Structure 1
Amino acid sequence: MTKSLEEVNQSVATEHKKTGFRKILAFLGPAYLVSVGYMDPGNWATDIAGGSQFGYTLVWVLLMSNLMALLLQSLSARLGIVTQRDLAQASRETYSKYINYILYFLAEIAIAACDLAEVLGMAIGINLLFGIPLLEGVLITVLDTFLLLFLINKGIRKMEAFIIALVAIIGFSFIFEMIFAEPEIHKIIGGLVPSIPNSAALYIAIGIIGATVMPHNLYLHSSLVQTRKFDRTPAGIKQALKYNLIDSTIALNLAFFVNAAILILAAATFHKNGMFEVAEIQDAHQFLEPLLGTKWAPILFAVALIAAGQSSTVTGTLAGQIVMEGYLHFRIQPWVRRIITRLIAIVPALIVIYIYGEDITGKLLILSQVILSLQLGFAIIPLIHFVSDKSKMNGFHISKTTQVVSWIIASIIVSLNAKLVYDEITSWLETSNNPALLWFTVVPLAFGFSALLLYIIFKPFIAKFKAKTINHSPHNLKLHFSQKKTQEVKNIAVSVDFSHADEAALNHAFELGGMDAKYTLIHIVETVGALVYGTHVHDHETTIDEKLLLGYKEMLSEKGFNIETELGFGKPAKIIPEIINNGLFDILVMGTHGHTGLKDILFGTTVDKLRHKISIPLLIVK
């Protein structure tokens, strides 16, 4: 299996740190790279719009989003630490090829939307600080393509130091902004009481959630925690989980401070002075000096904006690499990946700015954050399933309480998004000059993605239920052993699939070989992960199949039979012949389910493909 971010995987040693402080320090870093995604320029637009329109009312949304983010990022870190897989790799092992293609496509859209926000934010910051036109500023952002290459070649710790320095610039800038703005403390506390004044506030609130809990960060965090090399014992894993939780708590609370500061700044300046329609970052910058009475307010605002855009663009690129490699098992040169990601963001930005002018950038930023929010469910739900799975997590699965809280968070996000989509589509249908076009395009697309979301939610539950109804114990087969006369066959292979067909196959094999023959039970794991990773797969079904095969061996060995087992991975029609032809078998015995016609098309015909590839007799038993 390819390691996530292979060039920096396990590149930071933590085992030989003597003191507790040095140990914690060795683990600190990944969450800071993740935290910049929580304070990128897209957040600025939603926070400014929320603060100017509704004052301090939506502060509670930021707090709720931050708590959601802290839990979800800790789940993401847990997945990476325990399984040594990032979220994209875990999804690839679990879902079918076509479902993974769709999930990859959605993840790429989210990263493109995020990158669009970063491109616009940096360009606006450059425009505000140096007076360079916005279109030229957008083109300048291409140059940071090579910054990531420079940083990653210097090692992950250097990259983390660079990002932390940018975060510090943002933090100090807003400390001074708060001093200048002098917000009303009692109103900030009042804003912690949940309320949604109207549908416009709901749209902004969903944008804030999308800007705060970002899907690409879940992929990113599950990979970055793997840059730490630590003792892989249960105690070592437990310690890594603890230190990464500390890392996440500190970093995300800093991000919350920045987001809250932006919203409070907008509330204390624009909303307080009756300027309810300030949604553009440029307008916010322009009004800061006359409202706060100092030239430093707009300068610090622009500097912080550039720092936010630059830091988040670096981590956005890493997330893109993780998603592409994890879902598609496909690697390209980082600079090529960076250029592609940048162009996907720059081209729409250039077109929209050219057609509609610079005044549209605020709406474009908020739209990008709503797109991120809509994609959240497709990242959160698989993550919750993975970290709840006992077999995947090797005993480090989350508790029932954490599962319940996680599902409540997922339900809130999915429900808010469903309402937003319904309201938007209804509005389009009412105002469109050609509603029939929407009925044949947008509406089916919305239903399609809803069906995909339901599939992702319920598929693991159905798989677990099926696993329970299948014969998880060979003793449930109630095998009745025949006592007929046996022939002289010494080495017999028996293909088993843990169904009732095994009973007939095993009994016929025992008739042929009796108590003196050697029996090899062959089972092939056919999951997506098995097809891709072969013997390196560690998914739920493989774990179950290993236990079942050992159960067969124990039960039959107790009855006096000489039993060996062979577990293969991939397509049975290909793997079984390889096992047979590499062994010294006299005969292969297979049970059959007896289906023909349509069922052959649906379930395949292993026997027909297999019998031409082996050089020993094949006994088919119904």
Structure 2
Amino acid sequence: MEATNTPIKGWQQENDTKSLSEVHGSVRVPVDSGFFKTLRAYIGPGMMVAVGYMDPGNWATDIAGGARFGYRLLSVVLISNLFAILLQHLALKLGIATGRDLAQACRDHFSRPVAIGLWILAEIAIAATDLAEVIGSAIALNLLFGLPLTIGILITALDVLLLLYLQNKGFQTIERIIASLIFLIIGCFGYELLVSRPNFTDVVTGLVPSPEIITNPGMLYIAIGILGATVMPHNLYLHSSIVQTRDFKRDNAGRKTAIKFATIDSTISLFLAFFINAAILILSAAAFHFSGNQQVADITDAHRLLDPILGVKLAGILFAVALLASGQNSTLTGTLAGQIVMEGFLNLRIQPWLRRLITRLVAIVPALVVAVLYGEQGTSELLVFSQVILSLQLSFAVVPLVQFTSDKVKMGRFVNPVWMKALSWIVAVLIIGLNGYLLWDTIA
């Protein structure tokens, strides 16, 4: 199914190097099958992308938002999710329509110095993402087994071996493991919501945006944090690549079908991520806001208070289990994103285990130093700092993505329609503005 009888023109050079070449087109797509059989073949990449929207770096803002303001910031979580759905649709469309992931497209379009600069920024963002995963997993191991943070951080280095093993089992094996961990997280928070007994009417009301979000400075700050930290830069590179693992026909009809089913996969998966983020905020509101514990703002405090406030013994354990699953899931997808970025920007291939080891060491060293010198408080602050780095880098991934997918010459018949082009630029400018404000406020 490698027919290329209708290639997309408008790029500086032919794209002979396939993204993730070892698994490119490796997942069979049934021909002339029904809707659900075809959709089943496309399910997977969306789940891997959804992981980035529920990683440990997002938990703190959801916890703080629920504890301080109840259910009133649920609308912000929903809006953030809608932004993510749009941008991930653009990413998958770029990959399917052009045969290029976002990193390859940047290397092709920009001059080499610009491309190198974008690569460095992308690597910094991936290291920051990995930092959040390391700290989140270490905190989860501490909460579950009482392991010191330093030991937990060192244990996270072992996932290099896990990834090596999984990569030899086929791409869909990784997808299934990630999907299983996502449903484990959903199950944990499903239980948490049952025992916390949130007010359903207030939850529904919270999904409607309120003017108070703008007029209340404290609420606005957390709302910006939720919005600004939602879209993860590495996810845009990741999604534009892994959709190409499907063995669809590389002509206009095949691309159109692939975009349709990949978008369904992505949208469903991101709504699962919305459920998890909303569940964290709802749990925090039900457990802390209405019990006089509005000061709760980090993962450790939330875990410590859940059992005594809710009057059950499993709430804290399942909270930590979900955190550990979230950290490990993010590790797997972050690894692939690192490989995609290096290969795409530099056209350079190194052994996956070596690439992962380098990225992990960049995250482990600062996390270990801070844990030794400053303990739990220091690692919490480092987690926040990692999100600031991600905010700073985001515009350098979003702007090229919107630019490429809005270019008729590059995208051909798959170019963004006028309404989507306008909406994409509005969302991009809004996200960049909010991240800039949050970054400035954090530094100031």
TM-score interval, normalised by the smaller of the two chains: over 0.9
Match of residue 367 from structure 2: 349
The aligned length equals 426
Does residue 295 of structure 1 match 2:323? Answer: no
Does residue 276 of structure 1 match 2:294? Answer: yes
Distance 1:145 1:46 in 2: 29
1:186/1:291 CA distance change after superposition, 3 Å: same
Give the alignment partner of residue 143 of structure 1, picking from 139, 151, 158: 158
Distance 1:389 1:134 in 2: 48
Kindly state the Cα deviation for residue 287 of structure 1 after the two structures are TM-superposed: 0.3
Match of residue 84 from structure 2: 69
RMSD: 1.5
Does residue 240 of structure 1 match 2:258? Answer: yes
Q: Percent identity over the alignment?
A: 58
Does residue 331 of structure 1 match 2:346? Answer: no
Kindly state the Cα deviation for residue 394 of structure 1 after the two structures are TM-superposed: 2.2
Match of residue 402 from structure 1: 420
SS of residue in 1 equivalent to 2:100: coil
Match of residue 462 from structure 1: none
Contact 2:68 2:289 in 1 (8 A): yes
Does residue 371 of structure 1 match 2:389? Answer: yes
Distance 1:58 1:196 in 2: 11
Match of residue 326 from structure 2: 308
Give the alignment partner of residue 41 of structure 1, picking from 46, 56, 59: 56
Distance 1:375 1:54 in 2: 29
Does residue 220 of structure 1 match 2:238? Answer: yes
Per-residue displacement from partner, 1:370-402 (whole Å, max 9, x unpaired)? 321222111111001111111211211110000
Per-residue displacement from partner, 1:265-324 (whole Å, max 9, x unpaired)? 111111212222212211111100001111110111111111110011000010011111
Match of residue 126 from structure 2: 111
* Structure with the largest fraction of helix: 2
Give the alignment partner of residue 179 of structure 1, picking from 194, 209, 228: 194
Contact 2:391 2:436 in 1 (8 A): no
Kindly state the Cα deviation for residue 367 of structure 1 after the two structures are TM-superposed: 2.6
Distance 1:25 1:277 in 2: 44
Kindly state the Cα deviation for residue 219 of structure 1 after the two structures are TM-superposed: 0.3
SS of residue in 1 equivalent to 2:23: coil
SS of residue in 2 equivalent to 1:167: helix
After superposition, residues 25-104 of structure 1 pair within 5 angstroms as 25-104=40-119
Per-residue displacement from partner, 1:215-265 (whole Å, max 9, x unpaired)? 100000000000001112222111111101110111000000000000111
Match of residue 501 from structure 1: none
Distance 1:254 1:237 in 2: 26
1:292/1:182 CA distance change after superposition, 3 Å: same
Contact 2:228 2:431 in 1 (8 A): no
Distance 1:201 1:360 in 2: 25
Distance 1:161 1:118 in 2: 20
SS of residue in 1 equivalent to 2:279: helix
Per-residue displacement from partner, 1:71-98 (whole Å, max 9, x unpaired)? 0001000000010100000001111111
Distance 2:20 2:121 in 1: 21
Distance 1:404 1:364 in 2: 36
Distance 2:240 2:340 in 1: 10
1:275/1:362 CA distance change after superposition, 3 Å: farther
Distance 1:219 1:337 in 2: 16
Match of residue 259 from structure 1: 277
Distance 1:326 1:400 in 2: 29
Match of residue 380 from structure 1: 398
Output the amino acid matched with 2:206: G
Q: TM-score, normalised by structure 2?
A: 0.93
Output the amino acid matched with 1:122: S
Kindly state the Cα deviation for residue 107 of structure 1 after the two structures are TM-superposed: 0.9
Kindly state the Cα deviation for residue 333 of structure 1 after the two structures are TM-superposed: 0.9
Kindly state the Cα deviation for residue 206 of structure 1 after the two structures are TM-superposed: 3.2
After superposition, residues 111-130 of structure 1 pair within 5 angstroms as 111-130=126-145
Contact 1:15 1:231 in 2 (8 A): no
Distance 2:301 2:246 in 1: 43
Distance 1:315 1:211 in 2: 17
Contact 1:53 1:271 in 2 (8 A): yes
* Structure with the largest fraction of strand: 1
After superposition, residues 533-548 of structure 1 pair within 5 angstroms as none
Q: TM-score, normalised by structure 1?
A: 0.67
SS of residue in 1 equivalent to 2:195: helix
Match of residue 3 from structure 1: 18
Output the amino acid matched with 1:13: R
SS of residue in 2 equivalent to 1:415: helix
1:281/1:422 CA distance change after superposition, 3 Å: closer
Match of residue 337 from structure 2: 319
Contact 1:280 1:359 in 2 (8 A): no
Distance 1:101 1:47 in 2: 35
Per-residue displacement from partner, 1:507-533 (whole Å, max 9, x unpaired)? xxxxxxxxxxxxxxxxxxxxxxxxxxx
Which has the bigger relative contact order, CA under 8 A and spacing at least 6? Answer: 2
Distance 1:268 1:60 in 2: 16
SS of residue in 2 equivalent to 1:212: coil
Unpaired runs of 5+ residues, structure 2, are 1-15
Give the alignment partner of residue 132 of structure 1, picking from 147, 154, 158: 147
Distance 1:370 1:203 in 2: 14
Kindly state the Cα deviation for residue 329 of structure 1 after the two structures are TM-superposed: 1.4
1:328/1:206 CA distance change after superposition, 3 Å: farther
Distance 2:416 2:26 in 1: 27
Unpaired runs of 5+ residues, structure 1, are 428-622
Match of residue 164 from structure 1: 179
Distance 2:225 2:357 in 1: 27
Match of residue 206 from structure 2: 191
Contact 2:227 2:434 in 1 (8 A): no
Contact 1:119 1:346 in 2 (8 A): yes
Match of residue 560 from structure 1: none
Per-residue displacement from partner, 1:449-497 (whole Å, max 9, x unpaired)? xxxxxxxxxxxxxxxxxxxxxxxxxxxxxxxxxxxxxxxxxxxxxxxxx
Per-residue displacement from partner, 1:414-446 (whole Å, max 9, x unpaired)? 111232344345x3xxxxxxxxxxxxxxxxxxx
Kindly state the Cα deviation for residue 343 of structure 1 after the two structures are TM-superposed: 1.0
Kindly state the Cα deviation for residue 198 of structure 1 after the two structures are TM-superposed: 4.4
Output the amino acid matched with 1:212: T
Kindly state the Cα deviation for residue 366 of structure 1 after the two structures are TM-superposed: 2.6
1:366/1:51 CA distance change after superposition, 3 Å: farther
Output the amino acid matched with 1:82: A
Contact 1:122 1:305 in 2 (8 A): yes
Contact 1:81 1:237 in 2 (8 A): yes
Output the amino acid matched with 2:351: Q
SS of residue in 2 equivalent to 1:107: helix
Output the amino acid matched with 1:310: Q
Kindly state the Cα deviation for residue 146 of structure 1 after the two structures are TM-superposed: 1.6
1:104/1:200 CA distance change after superposition, 3 Å: farther
